[in-house]
Amino acid sequence: MKKIMETLNRTRLSQLISRRSDEDLLAHQVDALFGTLSDIYGADKLVLRASKLEILPLMRSNQLEERVWALQRLVLHGPAPQKPPTAKEIPQILNEIEDEIAGIIARRSVEDKLEKLVADKMQERHEEYMREIKMQVLKETGGPENAQTLKRLAQLEKMNNVTLARSAMEMLRPQQLNEVVGQERAVQAILSKLASPYPQHILCYGPPGVGKTTAARLAFQAAKGRSVTPFPEEAPFIEVDGTTLRWDPREVTNPLLGSVHDPIYQGARRDLADTGIPEPKLGLVSDAHSGVLFIDEIGEMDPMLLNKLLKVLEDKRVSFDSAYYDPLDPNVPQWIKKIFDEGAPADFILVGATTRGPGELNPALRSRCAEIFFEPLTPSDIKDIIENAGQRLEVRLETGVAELIAEYTIEGRKAVNLLADAYGLALFRREEAEAGGENGDEEKTPLIGVTCDDVLEVLRTARLSPYVTRKGEHKAEAGRIFGLGVAGFVGSVLEIEAVAFPANGEGKGHIRFNDTAGSMAKDSVFNAASVFRRLAGKELADFDLHVNVVGGGNIDGPSAGLAIFLSVYSAIQELPLWQDVAVTGEISLRGGVKAVGGIFEKIYGARQAGIRRVLIPKENEKDVPSGLTGIEVIAVETVDEALALIQAGPAVVSTGQAS
């Protein structure tokens, strides 16, 4: 029994020692886990976390189970256990805690690596940012200039200092109103409409090169000096060509009226774009505020743009709008807010010039403007322009030079260009002669001489032909007469000829007429046939009649009726007609002469062609310009009156054919 008790005691002691060693091992393991957590989180943070979980007493407990329970609540996720683990559960729980801590350590390692990479990148970026900031500071303190920009500036300055001589057109352009030749009535009309307390918008009609732009500019300068003018001394004269005015219907750009540059699509100024504020760009109508906006070739403008311009003329302001504009945005500058809310001022006088006829312009534009017609230049006007230009160029003009140039153009600008070209040719020939020693010991003259040969050489080089190819002569012919037509703002003579032969049989005659002359001219032939039968008592059907408009021009209207009748009557009756007399007018079936249009232009064309007398309808007598010289204008009511004034007497020979 004693041995049994000793054996049992030894067994119990052995188990006790074994259990004691297992508990110590677990206790060391728990201490190691707490130490690891302290290394991971730090002692202070670990204590803080334990205090939040209210497990500090468990951590400081002498009981292994309570300490393991504290580890469970610190490390493991999920619902917190409500009681300490048993001795049997502790090894399993410690294994789970070790796995979880191993995961935490692994995550910490990865996070440390990432943090190191992030820190390295931040250091690199920090250095880049510092360099950019330094460059920005240098730019702000040193200005935008650098070696490249200063080089460009020097190139521009050098180009500005090297200029060619003034062009001939620039030097010969009129500088005062009294230097504008041949437009006394138009200049007076423009000045009276601008130099008034209530200036008007103006439309200037006329052929090219007669001084519309120059007259408008000089009249405005003269108007500013009048006491009654509303224009201030600094009032601008803004000039623009209507053919070059381009705009975008989406209002992306509009140099005439202005546009809005949004911060995204068009790009506003940087300080505005950064805050998303649109930038309004004022147009030419605002630049012309309190002055004159001159639009050359206004008839070529886009119709929609012209309608927008008319709206500005009514409102005297330009409205701006943008989807990016927020009136409540405190960052919007006051000037932008004022433009969007009230519009930009655009109170100006519009002066438009065009080579089109009034019927081709917008009626709404015409109703808002006073209309002034510039006259085509006469040969005497061209001569005056050439002589004045010769004095300014300091050239000696040979006799006949001015007259020769006047035969080839009716434009003042073209005439001056021809003289400048002839001057250049004469100067070239003089230099060539001096280089070749052809002048010998002859004394040099300071003035360059321009001869008719120089002008003819320029005309041949430019392939120009005389402006007037049909000239009136003081002689009589049967079956030939001059009618009058209008093309644009210039009149011209129409040579109409007729020849008649007896038909092969009574009533078997034929009438031939130009197809290109137009249907209205053919109707005039039929009217002439009826009037001829009424006056002469003969049937045109008894004659083979051929009527021809020399040159094949298209006659748009009935104004050639009188000329066609007189040519037919003269051809059949063999009645000679004076060849320095021109006629215009529509004929009625009763032999009356009816009113037609374009009397001023037709008289001008007749005078250009050397016509001595013009017969016009009585109803057009009021259209004859006052102060007319160099031509006689007679108004007639019937074809009988016209015959009496144009016939040279009874027939002496039969023409037989048109001359």
Q: What is the CATH number of domain 183-373?
A: 3.40.50.300
Give the CA distances from residue 9 to residues 1, 6, 14, 554, in Å, rounded to whole numbers and listed in that order: 12, 5, 8, 148
The whole-number average pLDDT for the span 593-614 is 89
Please list the residues that pair with 86 across neighbouring strands: none
**Statement: 388-461 belongs to CATH 1.10.150:** no
Look at residue 1 in the predicted model and tell me its pLDDT: 45
Are β-strands 292-296 and 349-354 bridged in parallel, bridged antiparallel, or unpaired? parallel
pLDDT of 219 higher than 70 = yes
At residue 237 the predicted structure's pLDDT band, cuts being 50, 70 and 90, is very high
The rounded distance, in Å, linking the Cα atoms of 226 and 395 is 37
Q: What is the pLDDT of residues 18-44, one digit of tens each?
A: 455 667 777 777 778 777 877 777 777
At residue 456 the predicted structure's pLDDT band, cuts being 50, 70 and 90, is very high
Q: What DSSP letter does each residue of 210-248 carry, written as one string?
A: SSHHHHHHHHHHHHHTSTT----TT--EEEEEGGG----
Query: Tokens at residue 385, please?
Result: 């322009």
At residue 9 the predicted structure's pLDDT band, cuts being 50, 70 and 90, is very low
At residue 377 the predicted structure's pLDDT band, cuts being 50, 70 and 90, is confident
The whole-number average pLDDT for the span 609-621 is 91
The whole-number average pLDDT for the span 515-532 is 78
Look at residue 20 in the predicted model and tell me its pLDDT: 52
Q: What proportion of the chain, given as a percentage, has pLDDT over 90?
A: 20
* CATH 1.10.8 intervals, the chain: 388-461
Q: Is the pTM of this model over 0.85?
A: no
Q: What is the pLDDT of residues 549-600, one digit of tens each?
A: 887 766 767 888 899 899 999 999 889 999 999 999 999 988 899 999 888 8
Look at residue 64 in the predicted model and tell me its pLDDT: 76
* CATH 3.30.230.10 intervals, the chain: 476-646
The rounded distance, in Å, linking the Cα atoms of 413 and 427 is 21
Containing 428, the helix (H) or strand (E) segment is helix 412-436
Give me the catalytic one of 224, 383, 414, 602: 602
Give me the catalytic one of 286, 559, 567, 570: 559
**Statement: 476-646 belongs to CATH 3.20.20.80:** no
Look at residue 310 in the predicted model and tell me its pLDDT: 93
Classify 538 as helix, strand or coil.
coil
Taking CA 354 as the corner, what is the angle to CA 617 and CA 520, rounded to the nearest 5 degrees? 35
Contact residues for 609 (Cβ-Cβ < 8 A; gap 6+) = 468, 470, 471, 472, 482, 492, 493, 582
The whole-number average pLDDT for the span 296-322 is 90
The rounded distance, in Å, linking the Cα atoms of 405 and 22 is 132
Taking CA 496 as the corner, what is the angle to CA 568 and CA 643, rounded to the nearest 5 degrees? 50
pLDDT of 270 higher than 80 = no
**Residue 630: what residue type?**
G
Of 224-228, 312-316, 532-536, 554-558, which one has max mean pLDDT?
A: 312-316
435 versus 351: the higher-pLDDT residue is 351
pLDDT of 14 higher than 60 = no
Q: What is the pLDDT of residues 58-67, one digit of tens each?
A: 777 777 777 7
**In the annotation, is 602 catalytic?**
yes
Classify 613 as helix, strand or coil.
strand
Q: What DSSP letter does each residue of 5-43 carry, written as one string?
A: HHHHHHHHHHHHHHHHHHHHHHHHHHHHHHHHHHHHH-H
Give the CA distances from residue 246 to residues 17, 94, 421, in Å, rounded to whole numbers and listed in that order: 107, 85, 34
Q: How many CB atoms lie within 10 A of CB 406?
A: 23
The rounded distance, in Å, linking the Cα atoms of 385 and 414 is 11
